[in-house]
Structure 1
Amino acid sequence: MEKLVSSPWFNASILAGLLFLMMGFLIRRFPPKTTKTWYGYRTFLSTQNKEMWDSANQYAAWFSRRGGLILLAVGLAMGLIFETQTDIFLYLTIGPVIICALLMAGYTEWHLHETFDEEGHRRPGK
């Protein structure tokens, strides 16, 4: 077990990539019905009304699936490049996970801001 954990194939990008993919497919297949569900994209803006909740979760699930594929590719590339887990290896595998999570939140909030007005009504043409 120790050999697996210290292997460069066991890295944050691969693990988070699988998690992002599973989360994206889970929310796509079984969208959370209400803000009281135990899973879903939950922020102040996304919980304003049902339409915003649905839109935020649909967008976050889409982004999560794309981000998961990118993280998997990064993790596999790092597994090929590095023979052992070094400090730079850790930065190169953990950094993309943090960036992907921040981008998902930022782009989903931006999507909501562009799609809905301040009162939570869908903007014309959106």
Structure 2
Amino acid sequence: MILQTYNTKHINPWAGYLADEEIEPTATTPYVKFNRFANTLNIKGTSTRVEMDKFYASNVSKFMTNLRDKKYGMLNLNFKTFNTSTAKVLFDLFKFIREQKSAGAIVKIKWEIFATEMDMYDTAKDYAELFDLDIVIK
């Protein structure tokens, strides 16, 4: 009798792509969650650390690449407060989104406002007007 053995060690080449990428919040950085398949980027909290561009670089870059390639995406924002470094990240991201929308991409943007941060409402409106984007502000 010949016994057949099977290699039970299976490595899923998609494992790194299946899970959401998450960054837990700190006192100066927000919660960030990026889903590759849905091309959804969620950012919530305080964004005041120095050099926030480096903090966001990986996830924003992946979101932008997917937006360019897949032609769809969803951006959910909910800032308590943010600094000028974050403002620059948003400026560049919204500029890219505007360009991609002009090229036919479908992008939904939702910006939730903390009840105690009504100045953020004006900021969201300013970005929407500056980049001619439909931003749902709640």
TM over 0.5: no
The TM-score with structure 2 as length reference comes to: 0.28
Judging by fraction of residues, say which structure has more strand: 2
- Name whichever structure is richer in helix by fraction: 1
Q: Looking at CA atoms only, which structure, 1 or 2, has the larger radius of gyration?
A: 2
